[in-house]
Amino acid sequence: MQAILQHVSIPRPPGSEALTRAFYGELLGLEELPVPSTIQQFDLIWFALGPATELHVFAEEPYHKQSTQHFCLVVDDLAGLRHKLVEAGVETWEPATIQGRPRFFCRDPFRNIIEFTTIEADYKLFEG
């Protein structure tokens, strides 16, 4: 069996539609997609992540968690995006390095962790 990632779902607080669209739509430049009419009652905001993958941001009462769960986006201008986020007041940090994959992390306005990377080479080429 071959599996392909179709979408990622992450929470946001109820009533945060404008902030969700500002961060994911305006700051990150993701295209908002229409939510299917049969599930509009679930207070979802969808974005395209490339040609066949989606990000679903759903309303949920916040809870405090300490987790490293995250999703990762491959971008073509890693340094430019990081600069744009920092200029917008978003804190970024660098995790442990992976050869051939420069990367950084940030949190969205709802404390979800996002990793951004550029795939320069297969990391396995660097393994002994």
- Beta bridge mates, 107: 113
Per-domain residue ranges of the chain: 7-61, 68-128
CATH 3.10.180.10 is held by the domain 7-61: yes
- Token pair recorded at residue 34: 């229409």
CATH 3.60.40.10 is held by the domain 68-128: no
Give the pTM: 0.84
pLDDT in tens, 32-66: 999 999 998 889 999 999 899 999 999 988 766 66
Residues 6+ apart with CB under 8 A from 76: 118
